[in-house]
Amino acid sequence: MSDMPNKATGQPSAHSRRAFLRTAGLAAGGAALGGGVARGATPDPLITEVQPWAMFLGEGVDATPYGMPIHFEDHVVRRNVEWLTADPVSSINFTPIHALEGTITPQGCAFERHHSGAIELSKEDYRLMITGLVERPLVFTYGDLTRMPRITRTAFCECAANSGMEWGGAQLNAVQFTHGMIHNMEYTGVSLRTLLNEAGVKPEGTWIYVEGADASSNGRSIPMEKALDDCMIAFHANGEALRMEHGYPVRLVVPGWEGNLWVKWLRRIGVHDGPIESREETSKYTDLLPEGRARKWTWEMHAKSVITSPSPQMPISHGPGPMVISGLAWTGRGKIDRVDVSIDGGMNWQTARLAGEPGSKALTRFYLDHIWDGEPMFLQSRAIDETGYVQPSKDQLRAIRGVNSIYHNNGIQTWYVNARGEAENVEVS
Ligand SMILES: Nc1nc2c(c(=O)[nH]1)N[C@H]1C(S)=C(S)[C@@H](COP(=O)(O)O)O[C@H]1N2
Ligand SMILES: [Mo]
């Protein structure tokens, strides 16, 4: 074998690659891992003795026609905070973001928010109306929608109330509860623009009003520019049909904007010459300011990030040495440009590594490969998006917004990690 690059692939030969890895390992790898994470060669019965799983046959292929996670992962589930709401039919639960990795949220553990419960609506019974200021009022069946030009994109859906319990100070001791009103899925469906063009929006039609088929209807007004920009009528998520709780058979996707606009079991799109000012956009989903006035039409979700591990549900289970600090960042304004991580409560910042190319209005995973010295840490992350917007501290937010707000809390989160590796929700000013 020679050390010349392979002519066919342009890559160095296997031999030279091995030689390189050996040298690099001596020069950098060994030092970077600070002693290494792997164990030595002590005899280990898990390796040296035949284990039950190798003595018997496993399950046959049809044991589970539609698989669930292995029971060892039973704790990775949605959870709710019972005292938050009076009844589970008008309530919310939280994505176990502490235990997930990468960026895609499996539907089975993606948070749910219902105003009047999740309804069972079949494809056969499904109808979508376009009414109001259009040339041709239309009714689509589910089958009609599947015949129209199809698109696929990934987007995060964040409830405007995510982190809403943290306005007054650190409250819920779990990232699942402080930041888990979010999910990120790959949606397949039809562009809303395609449907509106089919109906022919009249010039006076400057807003749409979208309603669901559930008892609450969750009606919201959306300006026509957004409706014609990147909204989507979705019928698949992460490759499969939407789950009932996420709007089966059809939901609206409104990339970058607050979850309340993402109407599930979408039933009607009315075209209007102004906003409707429904319950969901007046008494709810507006932001009460200190002097008693409220901001409205705060649709966009601003840049935000959080460290998912370590966090209160994910303590450091090993001693000092190499560890991975892992987290999520997102912005409703487009792409994440950079994420900084601090281990000392925001005095010093290091640039985190982004896992893959950030998607627009989608979750971005970040990592900081860290050698923990075993000292307590005040862990924080700070997202910067492609518009240059920097995620604010909670004090910066409160200086403008006060503490009357529920919605749109994108302040920097702090986890205090003690010398035992346990993490706690705290605030540093
Ligand atoms: N029809 C209908 N659509 C709805 C709601 C609802 O109660 N009914 N809740 C809204 C709210 S407040 C949010 S945050 C998102 C949550 O979507 P998910 O349940 O798929 O997580 O759906 C929105 N769409
Ligand atoms: Mo929401």
Residues in the chain: 429
Predicted pLDDT of residue 22: 37
| DSSP run (H or E) holding 155 | strand 151-158
**If you take atom 21 of ligand 1, which residue's CA is the nearest one?**
112
Ligand 1 atom with least separation from CA of 115: 7
Q: Which amino acid is at 76?
A: V
**Contacts made by residues 63-72, CB under 8 angstroms, sequence distance 24+:** 68/108, 69/108
Predicted pLDDT of residue 35: 55
Sheet architecture: strand order including 350-351: 350-351, 336-342, 377-385, 414-417, 423-426
**If you take atom 8 of ligand 1, which residue's CA is the nearest one?**
218
Q: What ligand is nearest to the CA atom of residue 245?
A: 1
d(CA 53, ligand 1 centre) in Å: 43
Per-residue pLDDT of the chain (429 residues; tens, 9 = 90+): 333 333 333 343 343 333 333 333 333 333 445 457 887 778 999 999 999 999 999 999 999 999 999 999 999 999 999 999 999 999 999 999 999 999 999 999 999 999 999 999 999 999 999 999 999 999 999 999 999 999 999 999 999 999 999 999 999 999 999 999 999 999 999 999 999 999 999 999 999 999 999 999 999 999 999 999 999 999 999 999 999 999 999 999 999 999 999 999 999 999 999 999 999 999 999 999 999 999 999 999 999 999 999 999 999 999 999 999 999 999 999 999 999 999 999 999 999 999 999 999 999 999 999 999 999 999 999 999 999 999 999 999 999 999 988 999 999 999 999 999 999 999 996
Within 10 angstroms of residue 330's Cβ, the number of other Cβ atoms is 29
Structure tokens at 306: 């959080």
**If you take atom 23 of ligand 1, which residue's CA is the nearest one?**
260
SS3 state of residue 322: strand
Instruction: Check pocket membership of 187 for ligand 1, CB cut-off 6 A.
Output: no
Radius of gyration of the chain, Cα coordinates, nearest whole angstrom: 25
Instruction: Check pocket membership of 115 for ligand 1, CB cut-off 6 A.
Output: yes
| DSSP run (H or E) holding 52 | helix 52-55
**If you take atom 11 of ligand 1, which residue's CA is the nearest one?**
260
Phi (first) and psi of residue 228, to 5 degrees: -90, -10
What's the CA gap between 32 and 26, in Å, rounded?
10
Structure tokens at 322: 């190499």
- In three-state form (DSSP H/G/I as H, E/B as E, the rest C), the secondary structure along 333-357 is CCCEEEEEEECECCCCCEECEECCC
d(CA 92, ligand 2 centre) in Å: 8
Please check whether residue 362 is in contact with residue 154, taking contact to mean a CB–CB distance below 8 angstroms. yes
Residue with tokens 């089966």: 248
Which residues 6+ apart lie within 8 Å of 125 measured at CB? none
Instruction: Check pocket membership of 213 for ligand 1, CB cut-off 6 A.
Output: no
* Domains of the chain with bracketed CATH: 82-295 (3.90.420.10), 304-426 (2.60.40.650)
**If you take atom 12 of ligand 1, which residue's CA is the nearest one?**
260
Predicted pLDDT of residue 147: 98
| pTM of the shown model | 0.92
Instruction: Check pocket membership of 337 for ligand 1, CB cut-off 6 A.
Output: no
SS3 state of residue 39: coil
d(CA 160, ligand 2 centre) in Å: 5
Predicted pLDDT of residue 39: 78
Please check whether residue 96 is in contact with residue 78, taking contact to mean a CB–CB distance below 8 angstroms. yes
Please check whether residue 342 is in contact with residue 317, taking contact to mean a CB–CB distance below 8 angstroms. no
Ligand 1 atom with least separation from CA of 114: 7
How far from chain centre, in Å, is Cα 326? 14
DSSP secondary structure code for residue 9 in this structure = T
d(CA 285, ligand 2 centre) in Å: 8
d(CA 11, ligand 2 centre) in Å: 51
DSSP secondary structure code for residue 262 in this structure = S
